[in-house]
Chains A and B, each alone.
Chain A
Amino acid sequence: MSVIPRSSLVTYVIGFVLSLLLTISAFMLIMNHTLSGNEAIIAIVGLAVVQLFVQLFFFLHLGRESKPYWNLSVLLFAAGVIAVIIGGSLWIMRNLDYNMMTPEETKVYMHNHEGL
């Protein structure tokens, strides 16, 4: 049986403040057009992932278990399933879009990608 240590006020306050900072940073980056395009996407997704870990640790107490790490194991398994679902869907749909272009779309694609 895992022993789960109790949290304190400090834990929640730190989690809250960090989450606030991460949230506001992400919004400011976009609203102020500080970054754009791919840089912006990488930045805000990065901030989101960090906030995920912050909330998992400080709010959901995920780092606290002692062995065996059941909660963590189930989370990692679910993460794997999620990676397959999202990654797999994007891969399949990209492939479909490429293979099922209409003549008009083909013209546009050839012009943009092959310089024709």
Chain B
Amino acid sequence: MTDAAEKTLVCIVCPTGCRLYVDETLDGLAVRGAGCERGRQYATSEFSSPVRIFTGTVRVRGGRARVVPVRSDVPVERDVLMDVARLTAKIVAEAPVDAGAVLAELPGLAKLVATGAVERG
């Protein structure tokens, strides 16, 4: 009870990168070192259930480029990133692809949104 290990992490919410120290206490999580409220919330969520935006590329058929850059529309749990990546690898989009287009829905995970455009060609 008295020697709960303190977890340290670097906040990624903004470029400052505050060093955060999270303690699990009887009264809940204690967060030290956060420069702002968003950082405190980040520390709390990282401790319990870390999430990440997924980014990558999707294959394109019939376009001027072979791939189009994509992102998940919402953050996904950090531990399922590789699953999202594997599912993304199976998708082939048809040119033309518009920036902002939803290329696929990964059930229970996220939608894949194109972040660039690919013309037909």
- Do the two chains belong together in a single complex? no
List residues of chain A with CB under 8 Å of any chain B CB: none
